[in-house]
Structure 1
Amino acid sequence: MQLKDLKVVVTGGAQGMGAHFAQRLHEAGAQVAVGDISEEKLAALPAGIHRRRLDVSNEEDCIAFVSWAHQAMGGLNGLINNAGILRDALLVKKDKTTGQVKKLSTADWNAVIGVNLTGATFMVREVVAKMVETEQKPGVIVNMSSIARHGNRGQSNYVSAKAALAANTVTWSKEFAPFGIRVGAIAPGMIETPMTQGMNQKARDALVANIPVGRIGLPEDIWVAVKFVLECDYFNGRTIDVDGGLAF
């Protein structure tokens, strides 16, 4: 699919990688509808990009957003499923000084699963349902997974969500094939975004030291992979790791 032919939703698109994707798509002539919880950051997006507040963990928000985006763009044939949050913690931890046992909170588990998995699934469901209802084809979905899907200490919630997204990329590619809709996933490694900038500096430095290419990734590195999935009509049901060779 040519980028200029896209009428695409980008979730979590007001900052970080999502904002970069939205900007690149807009520059290429695509129509773009960005959803994000930050109305302030949405307002800062370039003119010509449709924008509306969206909490993907809220089912009614997802339904309303997709209906609005379809109307605003005069159609809908793509989704970049980018919204995500981190609430990192060990599942069980014992304080070395006090001996106190601490557990990953239910709130932190539910928050990450709610946005990164349930919300992502809501968005796929609603976008695909709209494309099927309007007999729009071809269509394309890009899920943002993570190399953490292979397992990473301190990220039980995040790993669970991102592994499920990668697995469902295969599932959905099979389910949506009769409708002419492809599904692919990108699994970024360590990327320079507001999310990673908020990491503990020691942990961040240790991760960067393990990247063979010798640097943290940039949103443009991930955009190159997203662009490939959008444009290559023979790519379907697979996840691409873009991580500089990082091994946990």
Structure 2
Amino acid sequence: MQLKDLKVIVTGGAQGMGAHFATRLLEAGAQVAVGDVNEEKLAALPAAIHRRRLDVANEEDCASFVQWAHERMGGLNGLINNAGILRDGLLVKKDRTTGEVKKLSTAEWNAVLGVNLTGATLMVREVVARMVQTDQRPGVIVNMSSIARHGNRGQSNYVSAKASLAANTVTWSREFASFGIRVGAVAPGMIETPMTQGMNQKARDALVANIPVGRIGEPEDIWLAVKFVLECDYFNGRTIDVDGGLNM
């Protein structure tokens, strides 16, 4: 599919990788609708980008946003499932000084699963339903997974969500094939975004030291992979790792 033919939603698109994807798509001639909970950042996007508040963890919000985006763009044939949050912590840990045993809270677990997995799934469901109802084909979905899906200490919630997204990329590619809709995934490693900038500096430095290419990734590195998934009509049901060779 050519980028100029896309009428695409980007979730979590007010900043970081999502904002970069949206800007690149706009430059290529696509119509873009961006949703995010950060309304201040949304307002700073280029005027030609359709933007509206979206909480992907809210079912009604997802359905309403998809309907709005379809109407604003005069159709809908793409989704980049980019919205995500971190609530890192060991599932169980023991304080070295006090001996107190602490557990990852259910609230932290549910928050990450709510946005990163349930929210992504709701968006896929609503977008595909709209495509099928309007007989919009071909269509394409890009799920943002992570190399953390292979397992990473202190990220039980995040790992669970990203591994599920990669697995469901296969599931959905099979389910939606008869509708002419492809589904692919991109799994970033350590990328320079507001999310990673908020990491503990010691943990961040240790991760960067393990990247064979010798640097943290940039949003443009991930955009090149997303662009490939969007444009290559023979790519389907697979996840591309873009991590500089990082072994977590």
TM-score above 0.5, yes or no? yes
C-alpha distance in structure 2 between counterparts of 1:190 and 1:38, whole Å: 23
Alignment partner, residue 84 of structure 2: 84
Alignment partner, residue 17 of structure 2: 17
Q: What are the ranges of 5 or more consecutive residues in structure 2 without an aligned counterpart?
A: none
Alignment partner, residue 171 of structure 1: 171
- Asked whether 1:123 is paired with 2:107, we answer no
- Deviation digits for residues 206-229 of structure 1, max 9, x if unmatched? 000000000000000000000000
- Deviation digits for residues 45-99 of structure 1, max 9, x if unmatched? 0010000000000000000000000000000000000000000000000000000
TM-score, normalized by length of structure 2? 1.00
Report percent identity of matched pairs.
88
Alignment partner, residue 199 of structure 1: 199
Alignment partner, residue 245 of structure 1: 245
Q: How many aligned positions are there?
A: 248
Letter in 1 for 2:228: F
TM-score, normalized by length of structure 1? 1.00
Alignment partner, residue 108 of structure 1: 108
Letter in 2 for 1:101: V
Alignment partner, residue 227 of structure 2: 227
Alignment partner, residue 138 of structure 1: 138
Letter in 2 for 1:85: I
Q: What are the ranges of 5 or more consecutive residues in structure 1 without an aligned counterpart?
A: none
Alignment partner, residue 6 of structure 2: 6
C-alpha distance in structure 2 between counterparts of 1:42 and 1:206, whole Å: 33
Helix, strand or coil at the partner of 1:84: coil
CA RMSD, Structure 1 to Structure 2 (Å): 0.2
After TM superposition, the structure 1 = structure 2 runs for residues 59-74 of structure 1, keeping only pairs within 5 Å, are 59-74=59-74
Alignment partner, residue 185 of structure 1: 185
Helix, strand or coil at the partner of 2:66: helix
Letter in 1 for 2:63: I
- Asked whether 1:50 is paired with 2:50, we answer yes
Alignment partner, residue 33 of structure 1: 33
Shift in Å, 1:191? 0.1
C-alpha distance in structure 2 between counterparts of 1:56 and 1:236, whole Å: 24
Letter in 1 for 2:50: H
- Deviation digits for residues 141-198 of structure 1, max 9, x if unmatched? 0000000000000000000000000000000000000000000000000000000000
Letter in 2 for 1:144: M
C-alpha distance in structure 2 between counterparts of 1:145 and 1:39, whole Å: 24
C-alpha distance in structure 2 between counterparts of 1:42 and 1:63, whole Å: 19
- Deviation digits for residues 126-152 of structure 1, max 9, x if unmatched? 000000000000000000000000000
Letter in 1 for 2:54: L
C-alpha distance in structure 1 between counterparts of 2:47 and 2:38, whole Å: 17
Runs ≥4 residues deviating over 6 A: none
C-alpha distance in structure 1 between counterparts of 2:65 and 2:47, whole Å: 19
Letter in 1 for 2:59: E
C-alpha distance in structure 2 between counterparts of 1:231 and 1:135, whole Å: 20
C-alpha distance in structure 1 between counterparts of 2:247 and 2:84, whole Å: 22
Letter in 1 for 2:136: Q
Letter in 2 for 1:236: N
C-alpha distance in structure 2 between counterparts of 1:35 and 1:112, whole Å: 18
